A and B are shown apart, each in its own frame.
Chain A
Amino acid sequence: MIYSFWIFDKHCNCIFEREWTLGSNTNNPNALSSGTINSKQNDEIGKLLYGMIFSLNSITQKLSTSISDNQINNNIRSISTGKFRIHTMQTATGLWFILITDFKQQNYSQVLHYIYSHIYIKHVVHNFLSPYDFALNPKEQRGQGVKKINNRHFINTLEAFLQSMLN
């Protein structure tokens, strides 16, 4: 079961967020389309989530055993808590794709990779009308304002792709 999906950009801002709230109730016919997209209420949660992943990632980089000339990144793949599991993927451009799920399945990295390579690239990167940088100010450092992905093709394709995994 998938609880939520997040994209963070290189400025540490959340540029896309999707949360499913009624996914636990399979009898509800509205379950699949429930939840919120880019909700303002989830802004604070997004900051906490990103802060947690960012700080954990910085300590795992320190724990990395790689030799300096053969640099292998030691990025976080998943974080499990007592209640849910967070799957992460970082792209070379500094984007973070994050999926929060339950414990039934252990490895969502191929799902995240598919979302990046087949949905994000196709509908956001290859889209001429989509901004190159989602921050309002090109010199964006911390929280001066950010646009969100509101591309309906992206949202619909993502929805269709993740729908089969919701329950």
Chain B
Amino acid sequence: MGIEAILIINKSGGLIYHRSFDVSKTNPTGTTSKHSLNSNDLLILASTLHSVFVISSQITPKALQLSQSNLNYTIPYHPYVGVKNPEKSPRNSIPNKYGSFKGDDYFKEPFHSWNKSGLKQLSTDQFTMYIYQTMTGLKFVAISSTVLPSHNDSETNMMNNSGININNNSSKNINALQYNLGSQIADNLLRKVYCIYSDYVMKDPFYSLEMPIKSDLFDDKVKSLIDNLL
């Protein structure tokens, strides 16, 4: 999973942090955007995502509003996403530099998602966007270069059985698990970005709330997190 960009949107829909990670490594600084978006476009992107968040809860289907099915919002913990695994690289015998006061892997338990009715994931032909929302309304957005398999792969299969028993197709269910896995890993990663944010931005006495983040330490930590991501 290649992360192309990380964005942070504050609770009123303003873009407070944006960083592109050039996957092709043409620019070692990684500061120029691959998508050649100007700052105005980015602000539009941030505020659109923010407003869609509100709208998406309005269009909840009636069947879901009527049924009392309680969905599970707990996201399982995936170890060492974006952090070097000390067991796998024993050469690195020094206690891990990454991580926070909570330990080398930031957190080690499944966590609860606060994003119950808002936008979580957006898949297009070219990328997938994952959104992690915190309790305070801050949104962490990751743009990943992974895409869904296109419909051509399974189309021939589809024509034979005309879509009957689609839910019983076991291979598709495995596919669904992998798909949810991507979303879980993205949530784990973005929660780590949130941990870094709370350590290096919120504890910065010179940072004013809701304003753009200009912190080199935060930049470095996010960069190392993304670089360590497989």
Contacts and interface: CB of A to CB of B under 8 A. Distances in A.
Contacts of B163: 110-111, 114, 161, 164-165
Interface string A37-73: 0000000010011011001100110111110000011
Interface residues on A, range: 35 or more
Nearest to A66: B126
B205 interface: no
Interface string B156-186: 0011001111110000110110011001000
A14 to B, nearest CB: 12
Contact of B120 (A3, A45, A77, A81): A81
Contacts of A81: 56-57, 117-120
Contacts of B203: none
Contacts of B71: 82-83
B59 A79 contact: no
B61 A19 contact: yes
Given A65-B35, A110-B151, A82 B118 contact: yes
A164 B165 contact: yes
B73 interface: yes
A113 interface: yes
Interface stretch (B90-98, B142-150, B192-200, B212-220): B142-150
Interface of B: 34-35, 37, 41, 44-45, 48-49, 51-52, 55-64, 66-67, 69, 71, 73, 113, 115-127, 143, 148-151, 154-155, 158-159, 162-167, 172-173, 175-176, 179-180, 183
Given A66-B126, A100-B59, 10 more contacts: A3-B63, A25-B67, A35-B63, A48-B59, A63-B45, A64-B126, A80-B122, A100-B61, A105-B176, A109-B150
Given A4-B61, A63-B127, A76 B55 contact: no
Contacts of B162: 114, 161
Contacts of A100: 59, 61
Contact of B175 (A52, A73, A106): A106
| Interface SS, B side | mixed
A73 to B, nearest CB: 7
A20 interface: yes
A63 B123 CA distance: 12
A158 B138 CA distance: 41
Nearest to B41: A62
Contacts of B149: 107
A30 interface: no
A82 B73 contact: yes
27 contacts: A3-B62, A22-B63, A45-B58, A48-B59, A59-B49, A63-B45, A63-B126, A63-B127, A64-B35, A78-B121, A78-B148, A80-B119, A81-B117, A82-B113, A82-B115, A82-B117, A83-B71, A83-B116, A105-B172, A106-B176, A106-B179, A107-B149, A107-B179, A110-B158, A113-B151, A114-B162, A114-B163
A104 interface: yes
B56 A109 contact: no
A103 interface: yes
Interface in A89-128: 100, 103-107, 109-114
A136 B95 CA distance: 71
Contacts of A60: 122, 124, 126-127
Nearest to B168: A164
